[in-house]
Amino acid sequence: MTKDEIYSKMSEAIVAGDREAARGLAEEAVRSGLDLLEVVDRGYVPGIQKVGELWEQGEYFLPELITSAEAMKAAMGVLEPELKKRNAGSRAGGRVVIGTIEGDIHDIGKNLVASMLQAGGFEVHDLGADVKLERYIETAEEVGADMICLSALLTTTMMNQRRFIGLLRERGLRDKYKVLVGGAPANRAWAEEIGADGFAENAVAAVKLARSLAGRP
């Protein structure tokens, strides 16, 4: 098999949400001494990107997105430790702290974004739902996060996204983190209104946004 054939098999395994195949191909790549960064970038990442396109077109829905993200995580679970050993960490995207904002218990969208970010190569610290504003900051400081993602489903709890940015400013930490906001009622105008660094419409768009803010292709 040529390298291109192997890469396209990897991509297909992700698109099909085939966890076993995704993991098996990753193990095979490690055994045969392939360039693992290239394996990630040319094999697996195009797969998860294709999944994103299918979701945006309404061909894939949440179950497919989750299965593909799981397959991606299975492959990355094999590749990450090897990359670390070789000092070639692929998590160039960096660390993300994510949670549903204080007062809001809706976590479906947030879970999906967390899962897709993880599949997209980010180190994700998911704080769950109804996360106190202080806690985002504490965790971000503790883990050395680059980005903080705030989810809110209600127009009322969205106000806490604004409060959070105010709190970051008060602490003199505003420029230290990129702050992304999302949730059904959020939109670009809201992100601008409260001075967030970005807004994403859905989990796939969130990964694209996070990658671009992290300076990755």
Partner 1 sequence: MTHPILELARSRTVLFDGAMGTELMARGLAPGAPPELWNAERPDAVREVHAAYFEAGADIVSTNTFGGTPVRLAAHGLEARAFELNRAAARLAREAAPPGRFVAASLGPTGKFLKPQGPATEDELSAAYAEQARALADGGVDLFLIETQYDLREALAAIQGIGSVSRLPVFVTMTFNVFPRGYFTLLGDSAARAAAELEKAGAAAVGANCTLTSEQMVGCIAALRSATTLPLVAQANAGQPAVGPDGKVGYAQPVEAYVRSVPDLIAAGAGFVGGCCGTTPDHVRAMARAIRRKEAS
CA distance 111 to 65: 12
Q: Is 81 exposed, middle or buried (0-12, 13-18, 19+ CB in 10 A)?
A: exposed
Q: Does 107 bind partner 1 (CB under 8 A)?
A: yes
In this structure, the chain runs to a length of: 217
Which of 30, 34, 54, 66 binds partner 1 (CB under 8 A)? It is 66
CB of 169 to partner 1, least distance (A): 16
CB of 96 to partner 1, least distance (A): 22
CA distance 51 to 29: 22
How far is the CA of 172 from the CAs of 32, 42, 160, 194, 213, in angstroms?
49, 40, 18, 16, 21
CB of 209 to partner 1, least distance (A): 19
CB 139 within 8 A of CB 127: yes
Q: Kindly tell me which of 21 and 186 has the beta carbon lying closer to partner 1.
A: 186
Q: Is 50 exposed, middle or buried (0-12, 13-18, 19+ CB in 10 A)?
A: middle
Q: Does 1 bind partner 1 (CB under 8 A)?
A: no
Q: Kindly tell me which of 186 and 204 has the beta carbon lying closer to partner 1.
A: 186
Q: Which span (42-50, 73-81, 97-105, 167-175) binds partner 1, by CB under 8 A?
A: 97-105
Which of 63, 144, 215, 217 binds partner 1 (CB under 8 A)? It is 63
* Torsion region of 87: left, alpha or beta (phi above 0 gives left; psi -120 to 50 gives alpha): left
Q: Kindly tell me which of 40 and 133 has the beta carbon lying closer to partner 1.
A: 133
Q: Kindly tell me which of 20 and 59 has the beta carbon lying closer to partner 1.
A: 59
Q: Kindly tell me which of 9 and 110 has the beta carbon lying closer to partner 1.
A: 110
Amino acid at the residue 177: Y
CB 68 within 8 A of CB 76: no
Pick out residues in 135-174 that bind partner 1 (CB under 8 A). 154-159, 162
CB of 181 to partner 1, least distance (A): 11
Q: Does 64 bind partner 1 (CB under 8 A)?
A: yes
CA distance 21 to 15: 11
Residue numbers at the binding site for partner 1 (CB under 8 A): 57-64, 66-67, 102-108, 129-130, 154-159, 162, 184-187, 189-190, 193
